Amino acid sequence: MAVAHKDRIDRLNLLRRLIPRSSSGQGCPDARQLLARLAEHYEASKSDAARVRAIQRDLDALVKDGCIEAVNPGGKPQRYRRKADLGSNDPRLWAYAQSLMRSLIRDAVPEKRLERILASLREEGEDFGLGDDKLCILSDTQRLLPADFKEEVLLAALEALAQSRTLQATYRDGAGKQSRPELHPQALLQRGPRLYLFALKNDEAAPLRMYALHRFTSAKVGEGPGRRAEGFCLQEAIRKGQADFAGDGAVQLELRVRGYVADLLRDCRLSADQVIEEEPDDSPFSARVRATVPETGQLLRWLLGCGANVEVLAPAKWREVVISQLDKMRSVYGTGSAG
């Protein structure tokens, strides 16, 4: 690519990656849409019109080099797509693609981390046709809009984590009480639509707390070094259910299942030690399942979400919890129609 300066080369590469490989005009961006996503790279231009001209020159350079093309030549505004056949017949590209895919699969499959494979392929695979239009990660729970948080709070949390520094925070808890702790960040976790920071507070050696990022009203990186929580491992905490505000407890679960839940657990086990057995012919359920799982709120939500396709047999405490929740629901809904 005939471009003189490295910063412009980097900018053009970033611009090219933002333009999708699409067979139609639907979803193909124009210059202003691309500028909105890359505004910080065109701040040297003093006016909006000058910034549009600057990005248009970059788009024209990519068109000239054969990297992109206009889907509506002569139209206003012009929309762009990455050329679908760019390098598609280059054996070196496909050798690289196959090597990348094998490496990702080899690393992720033992732990069944399928989301890691797809996320990496979406990021790395644009050049050989595996972008957002062909790969997607979709949650099987009800999708909620993410909780609002301040950008500067997330930036400060990431900087404190990366530099192993303290975080000076103003935090408002769920009851509305405000505090100004000195935090010692350990890890950042997205759980559903909310972000949480694992951190020690002030001079405490324990407990390790989870702070919801949307409840920070301000945060900045502190001057001092952050302390590490003894024995903390993020992946181990997730495996034990601590990311769902649980302790270290596990439960020996025994269920009777039917319908889609029986099919699901035959394909996707609750745990590595899951045992599934067929129920007798006269049983209202099709299978009996035994598994050791973390004792979390997520487990309760899943059991309740399965409805009449699951019966909790053991432990007795969990059966009682489910019955109690059903009684509370019955008191809300009653037997009559809504008033």
Q: Is residue 145 part of a domain?
A: no
Residue 121 lies in a domain: yes
Higher pLDDT, 245 or 263: 263
C-alpha distances (whole Å) from 157 to each of 56, 83, 145, 197, 207 are 36, 39, 22, 8, 19
pLDDT at 247: 56
In one letter, which amino acid is 306? C
User: Are 329 and 256 in the same domain?
Assistant: yes
Q: Which pLDDT score, from 0 to 100, does residue 87 have?
A: 47
**What is the pLDDT, as a whole number, of residue 129?**
61
- Token match 């929740």: residue? 325
The DSSP letter of residue 298 is H
Residue 303 makes CB contacts below 8 A (sequence gap 6+) with 310, 312, 318, 322
**Predicted confidence band at 235 (pLDDT cuts at 50, 70, 90)?**
confident
With contact defined as beta carbons under 8 Å apart, do 68 and 88 qualify? no
User: Is 35 in the same domain as 77?
Assistant: yes
Residue 221: its H or E element? strand 216-225
Q: What is the mean pLDDT of residues 238-242?
A: 73
217 and 157 fall within a common domain: yes
Overall average pLDDT of the 186-214 stretch = 92
Q: Could you tell me if residue 97 is inside a domain? A: yes
Q: Based on the fold, state whether residues 119 and 155 are members of the same structural domain.
A: no
Which one of 232, 252, 269 terminates a domain? Answer: 232
- Are the beta carbons of 14 and 34 closer than 8 angstroms? no
Question: How many structural domains compose the chain?
Answer: 4
Is 29 inside a domain boundary? yes
- Does residue 250 sit in the same domain as residue 216? no
In whole angstroms, give the CA distance from residue 332 to residue 14.
53
Domain boundary (198, 232, 266) is at 232
Average pLDDT, the chain: 83
Is residue 135 domain-resident? no
Q: What is the pTM of this model?
A: 0.62
pLDDT at 86: 42
Please write the tens of the pLDDT for every residue from 95-110.
Answer: 666 666 676 666 655 5
| Spatial separation of the C-alpha atoms in residues 222 and 21, rounded to whole Å | 44
Residues 163 and 223 in one domain: yes
pLDDT score of 3 more than 50: no
Say if 77 falls within a structural domain: yes
Residue that has been written with the tokens 């990702």 in this structure: 104
Full residue range of the structural domain in which residue 297 is found = 244-333
Higher pLDDT pick, 70 / 275: 275
For residues 295 and 262, state if they share a domain. yes
**13-22, 135-144, 214-223 — which is least confidently predicted?**
135-144
DSSP per-residue codes, 179-197: E--EEEEEEEEEETTEEEE
